[in-house]
Chain A
Amino acid sequence: MSARSPLARIRRYPSAVAGLAIILFLVGVAVYTVVAIPHAQAMADWRGGDQWRMNPANASPVWTNRLFGGNAPPTLTISSDGAEVESAVFEGGRQLRIPLAFDFAYDDFPSEMTLLLSVLGTDRPAFVQATWERPDGSEVRLGAHRIAGEDRIAISRNRALEGRLGQVPHIGLFTDQTGPGRPAVLPGTYRLTLEAVLFDPGAELRAELVAFGRVHGLAGTDHLRRDLMLALLWGTPVALAFGLLAAVGTTVTTLVIAAAGVWFGGLVDATIQRLTEVTMILPVLPVLVMVGTLYSTSIWLMLGVVIALGIFSASIKMYRAMLLPLRNAPYIEAARAYGASDMRIILRYMIPRILPVLIPAFVTLIPTYVFLEASLAVLGLGDPVLPTWGKILNDAQAQGALYNGFYYWVVAPAALLMLTGLGFALFGFALDRIFNPRLRSA
């Protein structure tokens, strides 16, 4: 053993430095997430709902454009606030003409189109007629609507329009109708003109045309329009906390129990060994599936069950083998002679002796529990309210993500899981070489 601190020795192993960098990065992300997105807000957002209505569903991350050289459209929102509104007053009301113009020169269609209308300053409903004008001058009537208060007109789901266009509206409206074969985007300026009649001179009409894109954010969105970034970020602290707590919980209890068994021997040791043998044949995953199905899928309960099953785990056998030669070591007998209590001998004399050899195993144990938590979530036994990596994978599987080509939905959480495993493995294996003298190559 050299007097050099372990930290100084870590620097000589590039893999350890890389592993440590990955772990620190993940910890940084976890800390940032917990601070930036409070727990309650994350839970509420993940439950889904109105806050996501301006997001496209199943959109790829924006970087896919760069990666594959495509030019898929982002979500475009054209508001009446900046439009040149023509207004004419008549007795008992106003007539408005609102042009909503925008350039569209992407090589893919929007994923959906919605028109948001709100009538302000009156209780009386307004009549709105919408006309679509393509860059080539051709016009399509989108029909008339009676609007009271706030309304949301899903242009994409207009069956009549779909019949007239021969295609779903958000594709048909952007297609050059003359060309044969596969529909292509007609680039240029599109204009949606709204002609409205309001039955109150003081009334206003606000309009927003939303052409939902094919790409969104750094992580894309899922079928419920939720930004996957939320779950990718929040999955980090959850995964690290679960992995660390489970690893600490099982290692510490197992170590103390193994040491107590070795120290007291006799009946205590025999009982511990038999309990261990029973636990060794208990299949962990099915037990967790049962708990999750029959009782609760709370992540803390799962953590408790994982630790409980890990207390009398097979590692007791290994620790016992390592501790047995220490039991009769002269220095432990000396400790007994100078009146050290059983507890003190176990905690201060026996355990510290084998700790250096266990630290690497402990580090590599952490990702095992991270994977276990993800596995449970993939099986549908994840915490129902918590956004986690496993949860994303579970949703992706349920929605047939890979079958539908939403590869990003699977790739991102899987990559993070692998990164976690890689980081801890690199670090743990290097620690093994540092702490375990037998592995030190000459």
Chain B
Amino acid sequence: MSAPLLAVEDLSLHYRTEAGVLKALDRVSFELDRGEALVFLGESGCGKTSLARALLRLLPRNLAEYSGRVSLGGTDLMALSDERFRREIRWSRVSIVMQAAMNALNPVVRVGEQVAEPLTIHAGTPRAAAMERAARALTRVGVSADFMDRYPFELSGGMRQRVVLAMALITEPELVILDEPTSALDLLTQAGIMNVLKRIKRESGTSFILITHDVGTSSELADHVALMYAGQIVERSPARQFFRTPAHPYGEALMASVPRLRDRTEPQPLEGTPPPLIDPPAGCRFAPRCARRFAPCDRPPPEARLDDGRRALCWLHGGAA
């Protein structure tokens, strides 16, 4: 097996707040292969968006710590200067569809020019060629090239979402990060966009990181699932296994809370709230809400590797530490 496209090791991102240092990402590690889709699943405030920002180095001003190792196809991203990172990584190799993507369009720039903008910035593509590629990119995500001359406010929400997606794909990056790409859309539009993503994944071999709190959406695209809880990845499993039998109790609780079509079982809501990220529990962070809590949970759990590829931060699967 070849080296992974993206290898992240001990990535931490801490913010300074008035109440103290907030550990939005606490030593997160994972890998992503070429052409693979990795879904980050978790509740609001578990650090999913911070992860996306950390990968693209879109750091806020109240930054307290930003450390770890990130390697993209052999390039050490943490060693690059800000300027080189901007020029060589952002959009050239990694692009992102932001949360609230519908507002991510410059309201005074026409759709066509907007989509072509990354090309203009990075490749210096001449205008005519860039516009032609923008038209193709738009068609690819299901937006007619007739909309090139419109302003963003003249488009519907789903349409704008597709435009943003076209923008993320136009430079043909190796990795596309999708941060809640469908959260503000109705179900039909969501399905439409997920279909576009599936098709593109099949056709292009682009890797995707999909960040979502929606189990249903994630299952459509995922090859692997990373379950996030309180700034940590608590489970990393192949999608097939995860959606059937999650290894971590949090995963179980999450799956239980999802309503099912062909099942008579009632959805079981998960009680309680995630712990504060400023002062998380010393042991297992999910322990206070866990139904299967037992004595060792007061200590930080080890990573248990199961035979079928599942990995979980949980004492239930044994572990020597």
Interface residues in chain A, defined as those with a beta carbon under 8 Å from any beta carbon in chain B? 1, 265-266, 329-331, 333-341, 344, 348-349, 352-353
Task: For B291, list chain A residues within 8 Å (CB).
Answer: none
Beyond the given pairs A335-B106, A338-B90, A338-B117, 6 more chain A to chain B contacts, judged by CB atoms under 8 angstroms and listed by A's residue number, are A330-B103, A330-B104, A333-B98, A334-B98, A334-B105, A340-B117
Known: A1-B153, A265-B61, A333-B98. A338 touches B167 (CB 8 A): yes
A331 touches B58 (CB 8 A): no
A337 touches B90 (CB 8 A): yes
Task: Out of B58, B61, B121, B122, name the residue touching A333 (CB < 8 Å).
Answer: B58
A341 touches B61 (CB 8 A): no
B92 touches A333 (CB 8 A): no
Which B residue sits closest to A339, measured CB to CB?
A: B90
Known: A339-B122, A353-B108. A331 touches B103 (CB 8 A): yes
Known: A333-B58, A352-B108, A353-B108. A338 touches B95 (CB 8 A): yes
Task: Out of B103, B109, B117, B118, name the residue touching A329 (CB < 8 Å).
Answer: B103
Task: Give the complex CA separation of A352 and B109 in angstroms.
Answer: 9
- Whole-angstrom distance between the Cβ of B154 and the nearest chain A Cβ: 9
From DSSP, what is the main secondary structure of chain A's interface residues?
A: helix
Task: For A349, list chain B residues within 8 Å (CB).
Answer: 106
Task: For A266, list chain B residues within 8 Å (CB).
Answer: 61
Those of B58-109 within 8 Å (CB) of chain A: 58, 61, 86-87, 90-92, 95-96, 98, 100-101, 103-109
Interface size class of B (residues with CB under 8 A): 20 to 34
Task: Give the complex CA separation of A330 and B107 in angstroms.
Answer: 11
Closest 6 A/B residue pairs (Cβ): A334-B104, A339-B90, A330-B103, A338-B91, A338-B118, A339-B91
Task: Give the complex CA separation of A39 and B118 in angstroms.
Answer: 49
Which A residue sits closest to B122, measured CB to CB?
A: A339
Q: Tell which of A265, A330, A337, A341 has the most Cβ of chain B within 10 Å.
A: A337
Task: For A352, list chain B residues within 8 Å (CB).
Answer: 108
Which A residue sits closest to B105, measured CB to CB?
A: A331
- Whole-angstrom distance between the Cβ of A266 and the nearest chain B Cβ: 8
Which B residue sits closest to A330, measured CB to CB?
A: B103
Task: Give the complex CA separation of A340 and B86 in angstroms.
Answer: 8
A340 touches B58 (CB 8 A): no
- Whole-angstrom distance between the Cβ of B173 and the nearest chain A Cβ: 10
Task: Give the complex CA separation of A265 and B153 in angstroms.
Answer: 29
- Whole-angstrom distance between the Cβ of A16 and the nearest chain B Cβ: 23
A330 touches B118 (CB 8 A): no
Task: For B108, list chain A residues within 8 Å (CB).
Answer: 352-353
Q: Tell which of A266, A329, A338, A344 has the most Cβ of chain B within 10 Å.
A: A338
Chain A CB within 8 A of B278 CB:
no
Chain A CB within 8 A of B56 CB:
yes
23 A–B pairs (Cβ distance < 8 Å), ordered by A? A266-B61, A329-B103, A330-B98, A330-B101, A330-B104, A333-B98, A334-B98, A334-B104, A335-B117, A337-B95, A337-B96, A337-B98, A338-B95, A338-B168, A339-B86, A339-B91, A339-B92, A339-B121, A340-B117, A340-B121, A344-B121, A348-B106, A353-B108
Known: A265-B61, A330-B100, A349-B106. A341 touches B153 (CB 8 A): no
B107 touches A337 (CB 8 A): no
